[in-house]
A and B are shown apart, each in its own frame.
Chain A
Amino acid sequence: MSSVPHQVGCVMKGSLLELWRRQDVWILFLLMGVYTMVALGARITGDGTLASGTFMLNLGISLAGYFANGFTALIAIRQFPDEIENRTIYPLLAKPLTRDSLLIGKWCACFVGGSLAFLAFHLIALVVSPASEPISGTLHLQYLLLQFLSLGWIAAAGLLLSLILPRSLGLGILLLMYAGGESLFQWGESREVALRYLLPRFGSLNVATRLTDGIPALKAAEVGSMILYAVAWALFCFLLARHSLLRRSL
Chain B
Amino acid sequence: MKVVTMSALGCLLAAAFLSTQINPDAYREGYSRDPLLRAEVNQSSLARILGEFRTGASDMLFIKTERYLHSGVGYVPHLTEDLLTVQGTDKGVDEHLAEMGDAEEDVFEHEEEAEVLVPRAESDYRGWIGDMHREIKPWLDPSIPHRHTDGKELIPWFKMMTLSDPGYIRGYVVGAFWLKRHQPEAAMAFIEEGLKENPEAFQLHLSKGMLLLSEARKRAGKGKLPGDTPESLEKVLLAKDAVQLAATYMLSSRPPLPEQGDITDDPGWGKYEESDAMAAVNLSVMLESDFGDPETAQILREQFRPLMPDNPRLQ
Interface residue? B24 (CB, 8 A): yes
Contact status A56-B29, CB under 8 Å = no
Nearest Cβ on chain A to B315's Cβ, whole angstroms: 37
Nearest Cβ on chain A to B20's Cβ, whole angstroms: 6
Interface residue? A166 (CB, 8 A): no
Given the known interface contacts A47-B44, A59-B50, A207-B24, the answer about A214 and B4 at a Cβ–Cβ threshold of 8 Å is no
Closest to B268 in A: A214
Contact status B15-A240, CB under 8 Å = no
Residues of B within 8 A of A226 (CB): 18, 22, 24
Given the known interface contacts A55-B47, A232-B15, the answer about A197 and B20 at a Cβ–Cβ threshold of 8 Å is yes
Contact status A51-B41, CB under 8 Å = yes
Residues of A within 8 A of B19 (CB): 185, 196-199, 201, 204, 229
Sorted from nearest, which 3 A-B pairs have the closest CB atoms?
A213-B30, A52-B44, A236-B11
Nearest Cβ on chain A to B59's Cβ, whole angstroms: 9
Given the known interface contacts A62-B55, A215-B29, the answer about A48 and B46 at a Cβ–Cβ threshold of 8 Å is yes
Residues of chain A at interface, number, CB under 8 A: 50
Interface residue? B131 (CB, 8 A): no
Contact status A215-B27, CB under 8 Å = yes
Contact status A186-B166, CB under 8 Å = yes
Given the known interface contacts A229-B22, A232-B11, A239-B4, the answer about A213 and B33 at a Cβ–Cβ threshold of 8 Å is yes
Contact status B47-A212, CB under 8 Å = no
Nearest Cβ on chain B to A120's Cβ, whole angstroms: 20
Contact status A243-B44, CB under 8 Å = no
CA distance A233 to B8 in the complex (A): 9
Interface residue? A24 (CB, 8 A): no
CA distance A55 to B55 in the complex (A): 8
Interface residue? A209 (CB, 8 A): yes
Closest to A239 in B: B8
**27 A-B pairs in the complex with CB atoms less than 8 angstroms apart:** A38-B49, A47-B45, A55-B41, A55-B46, A55-B47, A59-B50, A133-B31, A183-B164, A185-B19, A186-B163, A190-B166, A190-B193, A198-B12, A198-B15, A198-B16, A204-B24, A209-B25, A209-B56, A213-B29, A218-B24, A232-B11, A232-B12, A235-B8, A236-B11, A236-B12, A242-B4, A243-B4
CA distance A42 to B41 in the complex (A): 13
Nearest Cβ on chain A to B52's Cβ, whole angstroms: 12
B157-178 vs A, Cβ < 8 Å mask (1 yes, 0 no): 0000001101000000000000
Interface residue? B303 (CB, 8 A): no
Contact status A58-B18, CB under 8 Å = no
Interface residue? A85 (CB, 8 A): no
Residues of A within 8 A of B (CB): 38, 42, 47-49, 51-52, 54-56, 58-59, 62, 133, 183, 185-187, 190, 196-199, 201, 204-210, 212-215, 218, 222, 225-226, 228-229, 232-233, 235-236, 239-240, 242-243, 246
Contact status B22-A56, CB under 8 Å = no
Contact status B55-A243, CB under 8 Å = no
CA distance A229 to B13 in the complex (A): 10
Residues of A within 8 A of B136 (CB): none
Residues of B within 8 A of A201 (CB): 19, 22
Residues of A within 8 A of B47 (CB): 52, 55
Contact status B24-A222, CB under 8 Å = yes
CA distance A62 to B49 in the complex (A): 18
Interface residue? B7 (CB, 8 A): yes
Interface residue? B14 (CB, 8 A): yes
Contact status B37-A51, CB under 8 Å = yes
CA distance A198 to B16 in the complex (A): 5
Given the known interface contacts A47-B44, A222-B24, the answer about A212 and B32 at a Cβ–Cβ threshold of 8 Å is yes
Closest to B39 in A: A51
B12, B21, B30, B31, most chain A CB atoms within 10 A: B31
Nearest Cβ on chain A to B288's Cβ, whole angstroms: 34
